[in-house]
Structure 1
Amino acid sequence: MATAKKVIDFMKLRHLFAALSLAVTLLGVGSIAVKGFSFGLDFTGGTRIEVTFDKDQDLEKLRNALSAQGLDKAVVQSYGTLRDIVVRVPSADQAKVSDEVVESLKAVDSSVTLKQTEFVGPQVGDELKEKGGLGMLLALGGVMLYVAARFQFKFSFAAVLSLVHDVLVVLGVFSLFQIEFDLTVLAAVLAVIGYSLNDSIVVADRIRENFRKMRKASPLEVVNGAMTDTLGRTTITSLTTWLVVWALFLFGGDMIHGFALALLVGIGVGTYSSVYVCASLLIYLKVSREDLLPPVKEGNEADELP
């Protein structure tokens, strides 16, 4: 005789985690409203300077040299090799700042050669902010339509609110700690939407399946059963993805540091929200088996009579 699988009572703590999610989300929104973001040059404008050296460089030494000359807000990154360096400075005076950067870097290695200088205007940054925000709104709108068509409106509302929660938490972290927000971070936020949606769809699929199989079970039992069924898959997927992103965060360099950090936060929060935001909301919305039944057409009963 087969032993019945033990079902974990995830929803027992739903009220506690609902309060926690609300508090963290409000903290993030409050930080965004009060402190805003520490936008990078992609959004604020500034001068981008490309230089090359005859040998590999220690980026920390280059940063210290620039800081000693008063360019402490300069961002130093390598691209391709450690001989090819990009310096980004929040200054509109291309000629002056490029001379200052080259002179500062000569103190570290006299073989430095200026390759290119370009200015990113603030109007470009404003356009990027507008299009980036529009992109996130369109993504969330598309998710709502997709989930509503595939499942039901309650599932759609829960999934989108879960995604909004994840996005606000990630943005709140960058605002609260004033971590530089650039295009790579925006790309990571959009990736978090996709990752979190995938988790929510898996959970919703299993909940729908359980409603059809567990005909006499309550919604709480159905949701707990679905969470238990997907726990192994969710754990393995999240851990393997986290390991890869941790490698990017630790060894990927400054250029993708913000990208990796946003993914680290987003993956963790997305895994959590698929259970204690999306699934919990379905309970609060009183989802039932009837919500998932196809509408009965008139005349069906008559057709079934002999």
Structure 2
Amino acid sequence: MKDISLVRFLPMVPRVPFIKVRMIAAVLSVLAIIASVVLFSTKGLNYGIDFTGGTVIELDTGADPDMDLIRSVMSDLGYPGATVQGIEPAAGQPNPHNYVRVGIPLQSEEGEAGAQAQQLAMVAVTEGLEAEIGAFEIRNQESVGSQVSGELRQKGLMAVGIALLLVLAYIWFRFEWQFGLGAVMALFHDVILTIGVFSLTQIEFNLSIIAAILTIVGYSLNDTVIVYDRIRENLRKFKKMPLPEVLNVSINDTLSRTIITSLTTLLALLALYILGGSGLRGFAFAMIWGVFVGTYSSIFVASPLLLLLKLKRGANTGGEVATF
């Protein structure tokens, strides 16, 4: 049988000059980070009910719902960014059609006045939807107050921060401080660019996206550690080779593994994005973006940063000062 594996189509000893183009990559990364910060400062994020508070109602329309019509009605009612998601019924349910989850943003702070405002908004939404799509049944209703949503937002930010600190400690312990700082700076790069693309696209930012960001951190870190481990190995192996050349050789040594891992991960994520429904689409999009940006940062950010941080051949990397 003919071997058609991807490895056969990749060079056995690739020698792509990644380090030579590091300045171009650095300019692109800096511009992307600046653009992400500007977008976040001006447009912000399209926070979901998890972070803003509000009410989510689950509707049974009795037939396949017209999602575009429901979104149009919500926009006409003054909620253009409201959450509208289709939900497939569980196996064995008598209804073959999808249900719909509709999010109504929090109208005002908690209290009697806030509760009344939220109730009036819900009445207006249900009456407006009924006038356009016909009668429906409210199967479930959930409310998230402003205090709870604020705590979720704070804990989500804390989770990302703690993850980055633990990464710094782990890499510092396993390698040297230059490796730890380089890995964390690359992860900051990935997180900021992910927030920037969500600010640009205005895809709903909810708890599932926080989970995706933490997964991106883990994926990018894994790729970076593979490259760093080969760099440390080659620093011991090629004691007289200049550091830029060692970095380039190490990146090329792991290139086949990086490409194959990224492609197989993307295949699964594309299937999730296409077939997973609207409820998982934001998560899948974040992960697809994370695979691209994580692969890019492990090659063009994490490794070249070792040059900027003046990496030396210490106890863990061969015992001699690296030549630049």
Query: Which of residues 8, 13, 16 in structure 1 aligns to 2:24?
Result: 16
Q: One-letter code of the match for 1:141?
A: L
Q: Distance in 2 between matches of 1:254 and 1:266?
A: 19
Residue of structure 1 in register with 2:127 after alignment: 103
Partner of 1:89: 104
Q: CA–CA distance in 1 between the matches of 2:63 and 2:171?
A: 54
**Counterpart in the other structure of 2:215:** 191
Q: Which residue of 2 aligns with 1:158?
A: 182
- Per-residue deviation, residues 227-268 of structure 1 (Å, max 9, x unmatched): 111111100111121222222223322222221222122111
In terms of mean alpha carbon deviation, does 116-125 or 198-207 score higher?
116-125
Tell me the secondary structure at the aligned position of residue 50 of structure 1: strand
Which of 242, 246, 249 is 1:218 aligned to? Answer: 242
Shift of 1:194: 0.7
Which of residues 258, 264, 267 in structure 1 aligns to 2:291?
Answer: 267
The answer as to 2:222 corresponding to 1:207 is no
Count residues with an aligned counterpart.
Answer: 293
Amino acid at match of 2:204: E
Partner residue, 1:279: 303
* Unaligned ranges ≥5, structure 2: 1-11, 90-96, 108-116, 320-324
Asked if structure 2 preserves the Cα contact closer than 8 Å seen for 1:45 and 1:121, the reply is: yes
Task: Using structure 2 for the length normalisation, give the TM-score.
Answer: 0.82
In the aligned structure 2, how far is the partner of 1:70 from the partner of 1:159? Answer: 44
Amino acid of the residue matched to residue 179 of structure 1?
Answer: I
Show CA shifts across 1:157-180 (max 9, x none).
100000000000111112234332
Equivalence map 1:50-199=2 (5 Å): 50-81=58-89, 82-92=97-107, 93-107=117-131, 110=134, 112-199=136-223
- Structure 2 SS opposite 1:292: coil
CA RMSD of superposed structures (Å): 2.3
Structure 1 position 148, deviation (Å): 0.6
Which deviates more from structure 2 when the two are superposed, residues 134-143 or residues 249-258?
Answer: 249-258
Amino acid at match of 1:196: S
- Which has the higher mean CA deviation after the structures are superposed, 69-78 or 272-281? 69-78
**Partner of 1:74: helix, strand, or coil?**
coil
Kindly state the Cα deviation for residue 190 of structure 1 after the two structures are TM-superposed. 1.1
Q: Percent identity?
A: 41
Provide, for residues 60-83 of structure 1, a one-character-per-residue CA deviation record: whole Å limited to 9, x for no partner: 233334445555443221234243
Structure 1 distance, partners of 2:17, 2:98, is 56
Cα distance change of structure 1 residues 49 and 140 upon mapping to structure 2, 3 Å threshold:
same
2:14, 2:253 within 8 Å by CA — same for their partners in 1? Answer: no
Cα distance between partner residues in 1 of 2:263 and 2:301 = 20
Q: Is contact 1:248-1:257 (8 Å) kept?
A: yes
Range with greater deviation from structure 2 (56-65 or 152-161)? 56-65
TM superposition outliers: structure 1 runs of 4+ over 6 Å: none
Residue 49 (structure 2) pairs with residue 41 (structure 1): yes
Work out the CA distance in 2 between the residues paired with 1:66 and 1:152: 54
**AA of the residue aligned to 2:146:** P
